[in-house]
Amino acid sequence: MKLLLNNVPYSAGTTVQAWQDVVFASVPPPGGTLALALEGPLHSQKLEPFLRPGDPAWYWRWNPRNDVGRVALVLHATMPDSSTFQSRYQIDIVPRKLDQEHYALLLRDIEQVSREWCMA
């Protein structure tokens, strides 16, 4: 199954900024239904689909709000004969107000402090 993110085919290394509205889309196999879930370090969330008359694609809206980090996407298809299959994707959510270099430095510093704190 192909997953689109804001009308662009998903590719590894996809990033989204915090507070950026995202629309996922996918066309189910003939007769199938789809479900899309997010699995992240802070929460898991099943997204509600919406359909457009005459359009075979299923759509889901999402906004990461203040979340940052890596989020797994699980696209689950159920066929008329009850068989199922899934595809997994992941996206990185980056902060809006901090550039990538400073964000990486901040994460490194937090990891270092947490290691030192655990050793004490």
pLDDT of residue 103: 73
Its pTM stands at 0.78
pLDDT of 105 > 90? The answer is no
**Residue pLDDT, tens place only, 37-79:** 999 776 789 999 999 999 999 999 999 998 888 899 999 999 9
Pairing of strands 69-78, 33-39: antiparallel
Rounded to 5°, angle at Cα 50 from 60 and 28: 80
| Average pLDDT of the chain, as a whole number | 90
State whether residue 12 is helix, strand or coil: coil
Q: Which domains does the chain have, with CATH numbers?
A: 4-119 (2.60.40.1220)
CA–CA separation, 86 and 109 (whole Å)? 37
pLDDT of residue 98: 67
pLDDT of 81 > 90? The answer is yes
Cα–Cα distances in Å, from 39 out to 29, 62, 74, 89?
A: 23, 13, 8, 10
